[in-house]
Amino acid sequence: MAPCNTCDSIPSPLARKGNLYLWPPTAHTLGKIRALKQRAKIKKAPNAAADVAAIAVDTGMLETLLLKLTGVLTEEEVKDTRALFMDSDREPGLGDFGHIRPLSELVAFSDSAWLMDILRENRLISHFQPIVFADDTGRPFGHEALLRAWDADGDMVAPGLLFDRATQAGVLFQLDRLARTCAVEAAAKYRLRGKLFINFTPTSIYDPRNCLRTTLNLIDTLGVDRSQIVFEVIETEKVADMDHLTGVLSYYRRNGFKVALDDLGGGYSALSMLPDLRPNYVKIDRALITDIDKKETKAVITRRIVDMCHDLDIQVIAEGIETEREEAVLRDIRVDYLQGFYYGRPQAEPVTEKLAPPQEPAA
């Protein structure tokens, strides 16, 4: 089976000149676009149907046009309008419809040259944060791989900005795939021992047999033990298609990997997934962990979650620990593993020896 053409290829930059075709959601939206064309004296593209707004884009004017469109349309109209930008004068055909996207995505993509450069030049690296045994915090159980990126000036790009813009610009598939391969390559380079937790967003994998093929091939080529890798579902509360997520996790398990759910306790939906998904590990949402030593209700809820997971043969990781007092409560609650700045911040190289005694982060 061939690798995924979407995940394994970085989109080319938009052409400097061409035709923009817009399919508005309502006649009212279409009227607003036509009024803008008249006011700005924008040329009409050829071969346009009556219900399509077709705009000829002169060299270097696409960004200006998109800015004008977002100025006259509401946020919902920008999201619901479908767009296709073509670098030729021919009428869109059946082969082009797979490239139609929300206008909001086209706007974000046109404003994301910095992100495309990062992806094309692979200016990415994995940092590792240790996860320790609760009953022996000097002994690493594993590490979570966390993606880091640099812009053209050498400044680090905030991970949240990186993934948010990738989602908006329609390149989350590509970023998620690069994050997975980056983590595997770094684990092989440092001969990582223990478990390797690799984050993934379920919506970035539409068919695991295709989308994960490059990752699986790399794991085997580099000689990384599949049982060492734990694929961790992030943004659990945003999962809308349980059948799709179940299929992805089943594919991971069939291929010898472990799976984890992140942010358990942050909302009801993640808890309701446990009977069907039965992950090997869960991570308790840090909102429950912070100040757990000061708020009895947090301790009570966390204890119930831990007991329930142990009854289901699921191991529990508490993340976000920053103080000795939080650690003491979690050990009493019988959490299996601990993670947080108290044991170490993410760093380029994983821990290969016994950890130094933990320290509380400076205020």
What value, to the nearest 5°, has the Cα angle with vertex 3 and ends 259 and 112? 85
165 in the same domain as 250: yes
Asked which of 38-42, 47-51, 231-235 is least confident by mean pLDDT, the reply is 47-51
295 in the same domain as 195: yes
353 assigned to some structural domain: no
Q: Note the pLDDT tens digit of each residue in 241-291.
A: 788 888 888 989 999 999 999 888 665 566 777 888 889 999 998 899 999
Provide the angle, in degrees to the nearest 10, between the axes of the packed helices 159-168 and 172-189: 140
295 assigned to some structural domain: yes
How many of the other CB atoms lie within 10 Å of CB of 305? 23
Q: How far apart are CA 140 and CA 337, in angstroms?
A: 9
194 in the same domain as 95: no
Q: Range of 28's domain?
A: 18-111
Domain boundary among 91, 111, 131: 111
Look up the pTM and report it: 0.88
Q: Note the pLDDT tens digit of each residue in 203-244.
A: 777 677 777 888 899 999 999 999 999 999 886 656 667 888
Sign of the C-alpha dihedral computed for residues 302, 307, 311 and 316 taken in this order: positive
Whether the predicted pLDDT of 10 surpasses 90: no
Residues in the chain: 363
170 assigned to some structural domain: yes
Kindly report the CATH number assigned to the domain that includes residue 89: 3.30.70
Which amino acid belongs to residue 118? I
> What tokens does 215 get?
């990752």
4 assigned to some structural domain: no
Q: Note the pLDDT tens digit of each residue in 327-350.
A: 999 999 999 999 999 999 999 999
Containing 76, the helix (H) or strand (E) segment is: helix 75-80
Residue 50's pLDDT is: 75
141 in the same domain as 50: no
165 in the same domain as 102: no
220 in the same domain as 169: yes
Question: N- to C-terminal Cα distance for the chain?
Answer: 52
60 assigned to some structural domain: yes
138 in the same domain as 94: no
263 in the same domain as 138: yes
183 in the same domain as 55: no
Count structural domains, the chain: 2
106 assigned to some structural domain: yes
250 in the same domain as 317: yes
256 in the same domain as 154: yes
107 in the same domain as 138: no
Kindly report the CATH number assigned to the domain that includes residue 202: 3.20.20.450
357 assigned to some structural domain: no
359 assigned to some structural domain: no
